[in-house]
Amino acid sequence: MDAGLDEAAGKRARGLDRAFEILDFLRQKRQALKPNEIAAQIGAPRSSVYELVNLLLRNGILEFTGGEGRVYLGRKLYFLGAAYENHFDFTRECEAALERLADETRETAQFCMLDGNKYTVVRMREGARPFRISTDIGQSVPIPWTASGRLLVAHMTNAEILSFIPERDFQLPGGEWLDPAAFLTEVRQAERDGHFTFNSIVDSFTHCFAVPVTDDAGHAAATLCLVAPRDDGLANRDRYLDCLKDAARRLSHAPLQSRRA
């Protein structure tokens, strides 16, 4: 009897893991797909994917869109997210900090975190410049491509960092490879300085700034960032860092349960 219960519980847990994998896959792909396409791309049995997709459709977590049986994230997720945000004051504090940074600097301000072993922009406020500098919110980006990445892994040992970041993520957008040893040197320098800035690896016209938003242990739970045109970023480097560090200090002193939002 106990063995049967354990087996059933294990099956349900695996089903939940697979359901979350489907949702996360669609989030990263940012397009509607057929269940058989999802199964093929995540390497899962078609039968289990069809079963889970139907369950998620019945509960509004997925919705049909685009025709031909394609599915995508459902509106129920929006309501769940809205309820989550309404429960925490931190999101409002974060929005206020980004608005203040964008007003003070006229540059694009971002609040960034790790999503698994990838970097993602969680919140963003565009600056007052006539041209647009932005990143898609929620898009997963390799950690070594980002200024924030140096800070977000700084609490780990070098060995832990190299184990955490997939080897392929050290290949940069242009095809060249970033030496992991050079990356680790930059991580330790960012840890000592309390910030990291560099000319963007992804966009050759911008300069990126990142400072940590720390948790109670002093680790970077998130970062506040500015993305500026390269010449303006270099010319205003000290002022921009002062603005970021002031905003990050305020967020770092938010209650612990709020920072976990």
What value does the mean pLDDT take over residues 198-213? Answer: 88
CATH architecture of 2-78: Orthogonal Bundle (1.10)
pLDDT, tens digit (0-9, with 9 covering 90-100), for 150-191: 999 999 999 999 999 999 999 998 899 999 999 999 999 999
Confidence of residue 261 (pLDDT cuts 50, 70, 90): very low
Would you list the DSSP string of 206-245? EEEEEEEEE-TTS-EEEEEEEEEEHHHHHHTHHHHHHHHH
What pTM did the predictor assign? 0.71
User: For residue 196, what is the DSSP state?
Assistant: E
Matching CATH number, 88-259, of 3.40.50.9100, 3.90.245.10, 3.30.450.40, 3.40.50.360: 3.30.450.40
CA–CA distances in Å: residue 170 to residues 143, 160, 178, 220, 257: 8, 15, 5, 21, 34
For residue 196, give both structure tokens.
Answer: 């990291």
* Domain range annotation of the chain: 2-78, 88-259
pLDDT given at position 240: 97
